[in-house]
Structure 1
């Protein structure tokens, strides 16, 4: 499905116009996702910054899964023409934090966006070489910092390759940029204390878990303590996409997956480490839902606390 052709209703119930170009120079984004055709038509436009945010899943010598930056893949196997590489491991996360992929403080995040050639006038399109969760992470980081002119390439690099669109290899030097003006007051994150209040019923919020089904039930997982937060519903990020082409499911199927949570005053998204939850946030944004917050520490932080409640529903 070409989601660019499907209007999404916002909080007002009014459907915005489909993606269009507002001027000869800068593309205009009316939706949080764009199609490969849209991006192909916009390449080379002023203010457009395309970012490859790929992260690779690898298995260590001890047999444990881990992460590797996708920069070598970007350089040698290729990328969308003109795309810069955004390193979610080393450049766009806090390397000193106790948990992987912890977001940067506002000052360092602004510096990281400058290093990517992004400033307040930039129109950013993010993609990855997997199923879009890494791209949605950077999309959410930018939105949470106050930069709304950002979208995810629907289908990612795999869709771009499948359609035999042009591929470049080698490094692309980002243009000189001042970085975005970070607006840290935007309430798109929730911390552990806030989640605890939601769990206890002291604050409103529908808890939505984006991990795979068997991790939700506690049948599988790599943490010492397994399961999900009390009162959570399961909306696995892996089920939000059409596995044949990696594009998001049509809006009616997304609505069915989220069900009654769409009516909640606030939707609290979490996963293992704050990545898959942003894919759920992207799907909600496509549906015009703007009440989502993401628990950045997610289960990695929650399960490390022996007093934090977890529910196991595995047989």
Structure 2
């Protein structure tokens, strides 16, 4: 298989390559708190055959952080991915049951941990079903443990202190992908104790704008959208509510214009919750 495949594949591609021994499917389904849905439970009863479940909200995260689903250490990531039966040489195909929602987060996690071939299934599980892909509803089988090595890629990640320094010196371009009413400070944040507004000088590109009916928009449409917010002069950073949908725009950028964008892991939950940090409202 090519060592240079795009970051997005369609369901027809997966169907054609599905039986290859080095293609591993990963269910990354996750739902917002209060949605009454559970990604792990749904995976157990409905999944692409052979798909393992990647629990970035409960297991594969920094267990010491009070913030939701923060990136784990390389050792914790490697240990958990080994248990999922994934090797460094595998092509990992990440999907979710919503189409595109939480799967870009897991794509980014693999990327920031140095995985070479990781792609997102455009349209997710609904797209797989639409092309007649098989569905497994039998009890999952524990995969054979591998030896996986993670290698952190710092250009894909930014923390609060580095972001504050970049904002203070006007040396970063921050793209906030939350809905405009949250970006502007016009509505209260869903998480208690988190202020409304955005980071100084941030620009807004709501993440749903890069998608249409559960798929990414065309490369031409994405290029036009990204041109309005992505800087050629400064390093770019995406931020969202808790570090999930920021990865969607980072993925769209890499797919469309080949530009790597760092993700602010703590996102607005961390920034808006820290009253020492500067914010703006419109």
TM-score normalised to structure 2 length: 0.92
Unaligned runs of 5+ in 1: 1-20, 23-27, 60-64
**Alpha-carbon distance in structure 2 between the residues aligned to 1:179 and 1:276:** 30
1:135 has 2:110 as partner:
no
Aligned CA distance change for structure 1 residues 307 and 297 (closer, same or farther; 3 Å): same
Partner of 1:159: 127
Pairing of 1:257-272 with structure 2 (within 5 A): 257-260=225-228, 261-272=230-241
| Partner residue in 1 for 2:198 | 228
Distance (Å, rounded) in 1 between the aligned partners of 2:225 and 2:61: 30
Aligned match of 2:5: 30
The unaligned stretches of length 5 or more in structure 2 are: none
2:97 counterpart of 1:122: no
Quote how far apart the aligned CAs of 1:184 are. 2.1
Match of 1:6 in 2: none
Match of 1:207 in 2: 174
Alignment-derived partner of residue 14 in structure 2: 39
Name which of 142, 166, 178 aligns with 2:146.
Answer: 178
SS, match of residue 119 in structure 2: strand
- Once the two structures are superposed, the pairs formed by residues 60-75 of structure 1 within 5 Å of their partners are 69-75=38-44
Q: Which residue of 1 aligns with 2:25?
A: 50
User: Which piece of structure 1 moves more, 106-115 or 168-177?
Assistant: 168-177
State the number of aligned residues: 278
Q: Describe the superposition over 1:228-268 as per-residue Cα deviations: whole angstroms up to 9, x where unpaired.
A: 1111111111111112xx11011121122222524243111
Partner of 1:256: 224
1 CA distance for matches of 2:254 and 2:147?
A: 24
* Separation (CA, whole Å) in 2 of partners of 1:165 and 1:46: 17
Is the CA contact 2:27–2:47 (under 8 Å) kept in the aligned structure 1?
A: yes
**Distance change >3 Å, CA 68–CA 95, structure 1 → 2:** farther
TM-score (norm 1): 0.83
Equivalent-residue separation in structure 1 for 2:33 and 2:158 (angstroms): 29
Are 1:216 and 2:149 counterparts? no
RMSD, aligned α-carbons: 1.9
Q: Give, in angstroms, the shift of residue 96 of structure 1.
A: 3.1
2:272 to 303, 312, 315: 303
User: Alpha carbons of 1:178 and 1:304: their partners in 2 closer, same or farther (altered >3 Å)?
Assistant: same
Deviation of 1:196 after TM superposition, in Å, equals 0.6
